[in-house]
Amino acid sequence: MAEAANLEALIRGNKAEWDGFVRRYAGLILSAARGTARPGTELEDIVQEVFTRLCKDDFRLLKTYDAARAGLSTWLTIVARSTARDLQRRRQAPTTSIDLVPEGMLGVTAEPQEKLRLPDVLLSPRQKLIVTMIYERDMEVTEIATALGIDPQTVRSTHHKAMLKLREHFANEEKNEKTK
């Protein structure tokens, strides 16, 4: 209960609680980041990014913590590892100076795309909704979870099961086309 009370104080913006929270968990986050980060990565940047993500958008990420699902230390370790991986992916992405890109390549034309028509009985209504929210509305898992009032892991699991069904369906469809 003490952790829950402290989190409520953090979310309300209590600076003393925040400073104590940072002192208490910075080492844990650093350790989790060290286990995930590649050599040469600035671990302090990762730790700072974790705390920034916890505060961002009126503590949106911190508000998702559920003590019934995991201890705060476990949850923060997962957040730290995820953050470390995200930062590494961003840094790996090759970048090209805009000055080196030919001007003709900079023009963007928007052509209407045909939406994928999903077979009516293949996916459950929830699976269809989540697939639509991810691919047509370009929503993040946490946004979908909040909008539907479900856990983010339920969104991931439902998405995964829907993708398995779709892969199987379209693989069978492709086989049938080849045999014709």
Q: How far is CA 127 from CA 21, 107, 116, 147, in A?
A: 38, 36, 14, 15
Fold of 117-179: Arc Repressor Mutant, subunit A (1.10.10)
Rounded to whole angstroms, the Cα distance separating 45 from 38 reads 13
Q: Which of 67-71, 117-121, 127-131, 139-143 comes out lowest in average pLDDT?
A: 117-121
Backbone dihedral angles phi then psi of residue 28, each to the nearest 5 degrees: -65, -45
**% the chain with pLDDT above 90:** 19
Q: Under a CB-based contact definition with an 8 Å cutoff, are residues 123 and 131 in contact?
A: yes
As a whole number of angstroms, the longest Cα–Cα distance in the chain is: 71
Rounded to whole angstroms, the Cα distance separating 88 from 46 reads 10
CA 117 to chain centre: 26
pLDDT at 110 over 90: no
Give DSSP secondary structure letters for 106-167.
Answer: H-------PPPPPPTTTS-HHHHHHHHHHHTS---HHHHHHHHTS-HHHHHHHHHHHHHHHH
Confidence of residue 1 (pLDDT cuts 50, 70, 90): very low
- From the candidate CATH numbers 3.40.1360.10, 1.10.1740.10, 3.30.2130.10, 2.160.10.10, the one assigned to the domain spanning 2-92: 1.10.1740.10
Domain boundaries, the chain: 2-92, 117-179
pLDDT at 157 over 90: yes
pLDDT at 93 over 70: no
Number of helices (H), then strands (E), belonging to the chain: the values are 8, 0
pLDDT at 169 over 90: no
